[in-house]
Chains A and B, each alone.
Chain A
Amino acid sequence: MKFVGVTACPTGIAHTYMAAEALEEAAKELGYEIKVETQGSMGIENELTIEEIASADAIILAVDMSISGADRFSGKPVLKLGVSEAIKNPSAIIAQAVRLVEKGEDIPEDNLSGEETQNEEKNEEKRKGLFGWLKQK
């Protein structure tokens, strides 16, 4: 199972990076792949590529503020939580993401439609969404 994630906190000096490290370590321990983009005081680092997002089974957003490029994830199962939760209990969050992928549990309402109907039309929309985001950059 593969995950991608984003961490971001208001000052972007410490917690953004602690949360990223915590998620990376927990995923490694549990035997999953993860790449975590940090949106902190140094801007966006370890930026997720369109391919990485497309091939991820679920998205983990550990954010205390609005992030840039949130629309990249539309149509994917998203687990959203606060930065401090990721620092405090990263293993539980990875486990929750695994459950989200396996059973479709805890999917936020705005993602439900994208999950339930995996038809051509939806996939097309998803691609448009990604390209739209690319163009904005």
Chain B
Amino acid sequence: MKITDIFYPSLIKLNLNASSKEEAINELADLIDENGFLFDKVLYLKEVFKREALGSTGVGMGVAIPHGKSKFVKEACVAFGKSLKGINFNSADGSLAHLIFLIAVPEDTDNQHLKILATLSRMLIHQEFREDLLQTNSLEEVMQVINSQT
């Protein structure tokens, strides 16, 4: 299994319109929903915001990884959005999030999907990977950067 099994060009937005955390999560959830990965967007989002309430998923370094594990997800996937202006995710380091990954995982997901998400999370610690992602200008370039690292 490869990262492209959960990371699709149709779930990438190079320039998010959102100007708040809630808007960004909703905008990416719309993409996931439009592409048929959810049974119920509202109920999936409830899980995402429940996780946010436990502590912001703005991890600093310009990155946010909101996520929800829910039975209202059909199939595991990741939506990716870039925000040029940056979005306040209440990151501990005070940085605005420019790279936002919204993860959707079904309740009974298999370990292979989780393994890919773990790999992606680990990759984000590396500055070079973040910078490469920031510099992408097309869906193909994003897929290329993601693929080159996994």
Interface residues of A (CB under 8 A from B): 10-11, 13-18, 20-22, 25, 38, 40-42, 64, 82, 84-85, 87-88
Contact = CB atoms under 8 A, between A and B. Distances in A.
A64 B114 contact: no
Given A13-B105, A88-B59, 4 more contacts: A13-B121, A14-B103, A17-B119, A40-B118
B64 to A, nearest CB: 10
12 contacts: A10-B55, A11-B68, A14-B103, A15-B57, A17-B117, A18-B65, A21-B122, A40-B118, A41-B105, A84-B92, A87-B60, A88-B59
Nearest to B54: A10
Given A13-B117, A42-B118, A88 B54 contact: no
Contacts of A38: 118
Given A40-B118, A41-B114, A87-B59, A14 B65 contact: yes
Contacts of A22: 125
A67 B123 CA distance: 24
B149 interface: no
A75 B54 CA distance: 31
B59 A84 contact: yes
Given A11-B69, A13-B67, A41-B69, A18 B51 contact: no
A14 B67 contact: yes
B56 to A, nearest CB: 8
Interface in B69-96: 69, 92-93
A13 B103 contact: yes
A18 B124 contact: yes
B137 interface: no
B115 interface: yes
A67 B54 CA distance: 17
Contacts of B124: 18
A21 B126 CA distance: 9
A132 to B, nearest CB: 30
B111 interface: yes
A6 B75 CA distance: 29
Nearest to B112: A42
A14 B58 CA distance: 11
Contacts of A41: 69, 105, 109, 114
A14 B60 contact: no
B91 to A, nearest CB: 8
Contacts of B65: 14-15, 18
B51 A15 contact: no
A70 to B, nearest CB: 20
